[in-house]
Each structure stands twice: as C-alpha cells, then as structure tokens.
A and B are shown apart, each in its own frame.
Chain A
C-alpha cells in the first residue's frame, strides 16, 4: 500500500539553513547537508530545500548544497525557490535534485510548466501553489494565488490554477496556505481539500502545522498525499517518528522501515 509521506522542509539562504535545525546534535546546525543527513536517518520520506537566496550570484552555493546532499542521502530531494528557466531546472537535476518546485515563473508563464514537463518528465515537476483566502464572511469559499511571499495578489483562482498546471504536466502540487504559514494553527483544510479533490495528481499540504494532529487532519480531512512541515521538526517539538506514529494511530498508512 502506498504510504502517506512526511516531508521536512529547510529554508536555505546563501548555502546555509535559515533558523537552523536546533534539536539534532549537529556539528554545524547551519549546514543543510548535515540536517539532511539527520532527517534521512530519522526516516523522513522526502526532503525539501527552499532556496531564499536573494541574489542570483550566490546560486552556486545552492548547487553545492544539493550536490553534497545527493551524495549522502538516498531519498528523494525536492528543491524550490528562484526556479525561472529550463536551465535552472536542468542544473538542479544535474546537481542531484529529484524534483524541482516552480512557483512565480509558472504564475507568469503557464507554458513554462508544459515545457519543463516535456523536457524533464512530469515526475520531477512540482508546482508550488501559494494561496490566500479572498472570500468574505458568508460568501462561498474562494482562494487566490499570491506571489512574493503572500504579498502580491494575482487575481488567479487557486483551484482553477491548480487544475490548469496539472493539465499542463505538473506531477505534484505543493500547496501552501499563506494565511496559515507560520501560524501553527493548522493547515487550511477547506483549501487543501478543494485543491486535492480537484486534481488527479498528488498534493502536499503545507503552511500552519503546530501539532501532530494537524498532520492527521491534512491527510484525513484535506485529502493530501503528503504533509510538509518545518519548525515543528527543526525545533525538536516532534520527531519524524512521532509524526508517523500519530498518523498510524489514526489509521493512516506510514512507512517505518
């Protein structure tokens, strides 16, 4: 039986982890590769690096991080942040990423998703959907795509956009609720369910995890195929194992090898 995936996500800036992993006994808590190796050993199902490096000149440090991670971790690695061209994707895949996540570039040029999927295969193209609720009290629920960390509205309906990128060849959707991101009050479940039920490709729920019950809700009620979380793991509040045991106790299939 296919298992529900638990995916820790590390924010990487200039080749260093931002708000480093604090619970693991690491020699260098700011080194993404050390954190990746620790999560590999802890039983993470995949790993996600989100590059938030501002300048393009420092992009080389990310490639080095990806390459060193791929040498040490034998699990799937998704890398996102600043992916704008087919060459960006090629470079990340050659460095050792298994999947590449596209966000803003797909919003501005939907055909980029098609070109990327045709070139590298659907299996490695993840489209990041950052959505925010725009419907008012008493109105039917509606979410819009936002860029620039949730600051810039695009006018695009999130559900229709997700269906569109899926049809263009995205292999997976990384869905982040910009309302919930960093709040620790749980995923936006109606949003997650609306998108997961609207597309035939897997959806990763992200944004808002504060407890392990939130992960159960993301899968059970949000119909996501995977749950992504950052601080709950990095700060040692919970281990990957605890997350999986919680999911399993709620009747959801997990991998504990």
Chain B
C-alpha cells in the first residue's frame, strides 16, 4: 500500500509522517508512507492525506502552487475513488468556500462553508485549543473501535474556524464548544478531521489505522 502525505509547504509534516508510520506498523498493515509534492505519486497512491495548518487562503494558494497537484488529487479521489483524509485546514479545504479573512474557493468535495467559531458563551477562548471528546452522529469505519461520547477518548483541536456542511449527513462526529463544532466529515471515499489525529495519542493512532484499513 502506498500512502501519500501531500507536502505543499503547509506546516509540520514530520509528525504526521511518523504517526502514520507508527499506526501502520502497530496495526500490522505496513505499507509505504511518503511525504510528497509529486503529483504522479499522488495519482497512483492507494491512500491520500492532505494536512494543513494556518489560514485557509494561504493553504489554498500553497496547494495551487504545486503544479498539477489539485488535478492529480481530483483524479485519484474523484475518478478512482481512492480513500482521502484531510486534516485540520486540509479538512476545511474540502468545503466549497473558506471565509477566513477573505472568501476563497475550496475543493468543493463536501458542500458547505468554513466559518468562524462563535461560542454562545463569550468567556470561551478562541482558538478552540486542547483536548475534547467527540459526539458521534453516525456509524463510520474511521471511528471503528474508538470510544466516543463524554466518557470517550479525546482528540486534540486547535482552530478558530470550522466546516458548516450544507448536508448534515456528511457530519460523522461533532465536538462541543459553546455549541456543536464539526469534528469529522465523510462522504464517499473522502473524509476529514478538524482535530489532529497525529497529535491525538490513542484516539489519533487508532483513527489513522482505521483510515489505512478503510475500503470504501
């Protein structure tokens, strides 16, 4: 199995790389995990991961700046149905539009906008930063054998914006921070986590292993 972690100059891919390697080896799945900016590798990969930190528009520009990458991703995911995981801003990029600072087009693979978190309780700090639990909205292979709910495992979040999907069915899990925050979305072979699985210890490594096993 070939796993492509897309490098487009957004943040730290070192820990994502190591977390995928660890999850692959611990779960006995093996495979070749490669951090790459080569569209040809992405086109032929069995699994594709799009990380991302920072602002939506910057990430979109960074992704566009890698010649052929968006086309290669689209071909692999939309035409060949290869499983895809977006992480943090990589997940937000799946939406139609990002509204951070300026309005920027996303990939449009999951309908909806990326909007600012506005907690009802004004004393809540932004960014939403730290460990929070997940409320599962529907069954999904990525959450197989992961305990969710108020007494479940925790995921590490750090963000000020989140995806507001146009179809509620695309939401697999939310988290609670002055209201429901979209935590995990999925549609067909495409999935995305607002939290950082590569920083979420137990829950994170289990979710990555589930992604590597996922056969949508």
Contacts and interface: CB of A to CB of B under 8 A. Distances in A.
Say whether A and B bind each other: yes
A225 B196 CA distance: 19
Contact of B15 (A96, A120, A200, A257): A96
B12 A257 contact: no
B127 A95 contact: no
Interface string A64-87: 000100111011100000000000
Contacts of A45: 130-131
For the residues of A in contact with B, the DSSP-based class is loop
A98 interface: yes
B199 A74 contact: yes
B131 A5 contact: yes
Given A74-B201, A74-B205, A202-B127, A1 B12 contact: no
B185 interface: no
A94 B14 contact: yes
Contacts of A3: 130-132, 154
Contacts of B196: 76
Contact of B130 (A95, A96, A225): A225
A178 interface: no
Interface stretch (A14-22, A121-129, A137-145): A121-129
Kindly state the interface size class of chain B when it binds its partner. 35 or more
Interface string A195-206: 000001110000
B200 A74 contact: yes
Interface stretch (B76-84, B102-110, B155-163): B155-163
Contacts of B58: 121
B2 interface: no
A70 B127 contact: no
B178 to A, nearest CB: 9
Given A74-B199, A124-B53, A255 B154 contact: yes
B199 A200 contact: no
A121 B55 contact: yes
Contacts of B131: 2-3, 5, 45, 255
B12 A172 contact: no
Contacts of B201: 40, 74-75, 257
A225 B158 CA distance: 13
Given A5-B131, A45-B130, A202 B18 contact: no
Contacts of A202: 125, 127, 129-130
Given A1-B133, A5-B131, A98-B199, A123 B159 contact: yes
B174 to A, nearest CB: 13
A167 to B, nearest CB: 13
B14 to A, nearest CB: 5
Nearest to A70: B15
A74 B129 contact: no
B210 to A, nearest CB: 15
18 contacts: A1-B132, A2-B128, A2-B131, A3-B131, A3-B154, A5-B130, A45-B130, A70-B14, A71-B18, A76-B158, A93-B11, A97-B12, A98-B15, A121-B53, A122-B160, A123-B53, A123-B158, A255-B131
Given A74-B19, A74-B198, A97-B12, 5 more contacts: A76-B156, A94-B12, A94-B14, A96-B12, A120-B53
Give the 8 A-B CB pairs with smallest separation, nearest first.
A121-B54, A255-B131, A123-B158, A96-B14, A202-B125, A255-B154, A70-B15, A71-B18
